[in-house]
Structure 1
Amino acid sequence: MSVTDGQSSGRETARPPATSAVGEAVEDRALPLLALVYGSLSLEQPLQRLAEASQGVCRLLWVLPFDRKDSRSALRLLRAEGEIRGDVVNASALSPAEAADAVHEYHPDGIACFIDETIAWTADVAQRLGLPFHSPEAADRLTDKLQQRLALTQHGLRTPAFWDADALTDDDALADVGRSAGYPVVLKPRRGTSSQDTEAIASESDLRAAVAARVPGRMLVESFIPDPTVPCTGRGSAPYVSVEVLVSAGTASVLGVTGRTPLAEPFRETGQYFPADTTAEAAEAFAEAATAAAEALGITTGVLHVEVKCTDLGPVVIEVNGRPGGGSTGDFMKRAHGIDLITLAMRVALGERIAYESLPLPSEVLFRLDIQPDARLRRITAIDGLDEVLRIPGVEQVTPDLSVGDAFSWRKGTFSRVAVVTGAAPDHDSAQRIRTEVLSTIKIEGTE
């Protein structure tokens, strides 16, 4: 692994060691101050996880932009004696201009956020403060899939055919979808994550009905991205990957390429393999597509999560996310390479110039399996086999999610899972055998 830093001639900048556990450390005023925009207890990394990632790197100024119940809970936690250290700016009743003034009082050295819904707000405030972050224009492209598709197309990157659902209000426009893409097509929210409310539309009449029922400004229609006729990933893998990209001072570094298991209907994710089961040439092509997409969107700083699918015509970018990847991506990077993506994002937000020239492939295959119920179910009535899964060699942890009696809807996307199973295997074939055994062991029943 080779790391370069503009301040240190090829070596990482030395850092003061953390002095004690979170909540007990004596605050080190020599460390820079990072304004951390925190939007939701239910969607964000745990407060302790973010505080731990900052140890020895920065002090934190917690900024709460939204007026919501779980944000008020976060505010109480942050203010509690002996809890997470750092001052708090409650910006929930402030305009971006007022929020920028309130944050400016603390003179932060950088600003960051870690969920999609806070990116645009943070970009506005960052621009007002003159701090490095995604520009407001880049933030719009990162969080609005329609604007993202337009930017990628304008820069010559391959994309599926796409339409703003608001424009499909007459017979000619609907007929154009059929002529250009055929059916089925994909209906998805312009803003959102984890395939929530994403579905296949089978016919023009179904599309007409879906468009008529839409919330204006919310939905996008896309053609299916065709699968390759010659597989680009190994047995048991889906034909798409995710690429973790660091952009620092305009320089992009690829941190890793993660493989995916086949989707559950309609578009729910079922798992990840790291590294991806693919050739070195294919991995390079995925990486090039991801970095080209970052450039097309105008990204100059930050850690990105880019999904790319292979086709007979070459890689096609599915989506670019302006924050570190979710799922087990962070755990994979830390275990395989010793890289904490949250810490890395904090460092580049504070202006450090970091570039990774190369990262070796790990000696084991790390995996995560999201156990998804049948899409037809509406309520879970039985879950069996989770305890037995823990006895399968290679499985390290089973984390339950949905429980017996819970309502279920595929519209929650990947979040509709019953459990998450994680572990490690010596190679991809072994990881695939473990997946097959896990899926045959867990039994889910429910009512339709």
Structure 2
Amino acid sequence: MPSTPLERPSAAARRAAVMTRGRAGVALAAALALTAGLLAMADARPAEAARHPACAIVPDGIYSSWVNPLAAADGGYWWIGSISRDGTNAVSRVDCATGVVDRVALGGPERADDHNATAIAIDPDEPQLLAVYSTHAARTHARFRWVDRQTLVASEEQRIEFGAPTTYAQLLQTDDTLTLIVRAGQNWKYVRSTDWGATWSEPATLTSGETVRGMYLLARPGHADDRHLVSLAHYAHPTAPDWRSVGTATLDLSTGEIALVDGTVIGSLDEPGGPALLPGEFDQVVVPTGTTRVRLHDVGRVNGAPAVVYAAWKGTDTAHYRYKIWNGSRWTSGTWGQLTGRPFGYTYATRYVGGAAFIDGGLITSRQTPTTSTSGSWTITYWRCTWGAGCRATSTFTTTRSAGRMVRPYVVYSDTERLVMIQQMSRYAWFTDYRADLLVRTRPAG
């Protein structure tokens, strides 16, 4: 594998590196007191409330859908990546048994940003986690550090050059190989490493943006028996004038092959220079008609089947959550729930608020009430779904009015539990002007 050597720091150098630590709480009582001010359990049975406790709050943090994975389990801890208002990337070690949050500052501060949170990779055999981050297309490289999982000491910052303005980081791992995907200019490119980031391959092109500008690529790692499978979704911004479809494919990290739902292989990571896939080569799962707009919320596998969840609307009409799931022969679909809330920020994104994510054969969604308020309460709902037939609510909790303008869920899997990250945003006039915290909740697997 062609590689550009990057000097991995010695143990002495790592001990001497500067490490910034911050605590959001010093004990479980403090964490629960803080959480009590932001949460009010609603419509959930007491047993449900006790079974899915609040864990902690990561302050002054935000995430982007096109950074993955944002969190990873590590024994009794969860590591969480974020970026703060001043553009400082960080990883936080969260202890859900005590409510303590230890924050390790990484790159920054850069300019204010909401796009480039920190992607995380953890290997139980490696004493250091790998944290990758970027800027909002202000640099032509991605950056990363190793962070000691015990001492929280961070290495010196390293760089991976992509030759074009670089945004986002999606960090995939299987066996002894890391694959890092970023948006570089109009293309999505990738590099790989077989030595835990000490060296990286030369950049190759995963998808080409030459024909359709401003495309996003969402890569969601699998879990359990599907750990080697990555769900890919090629997606255009809702304002895109000439391409508004959502396309999907599956990347098999064990073989490097990218395939459609019928098994047709459309590319491979081993191709010289990369497969450079075009949007039309993906399975066209959501194809809006007329003036319909869509916003993709999540892509994944439900009971092994490819699936997407998104919002759809026309003009200023009420938007609805929708999903599509492959039943073995065709894409089945369902519609439920209103995605409601006051417009904010970008004038076109009247239904930008809220969000949805897959969780254990169902979904988690957020909805604001009253819909005419700029700071209404938000209801977070867990749904159990019979795909193609509908979804029913199983439990809910609410945030207070102080949560404000946007509450968006994100789910990370471990073998024994799920981490539910709720992005609470109280201000957002532009991507450089916001206030947000991350509320962390844990939920048993299943």
With structure 2 as the length reference, what TM-score do the two structures score?
0.30
The structure with more radius of gyration: 1
Flag the structure with higher helix content: 1
With structure 1 as the length reference, what TM-score do the two structures score?
0.30
Flag the structure with higher strand content: 2
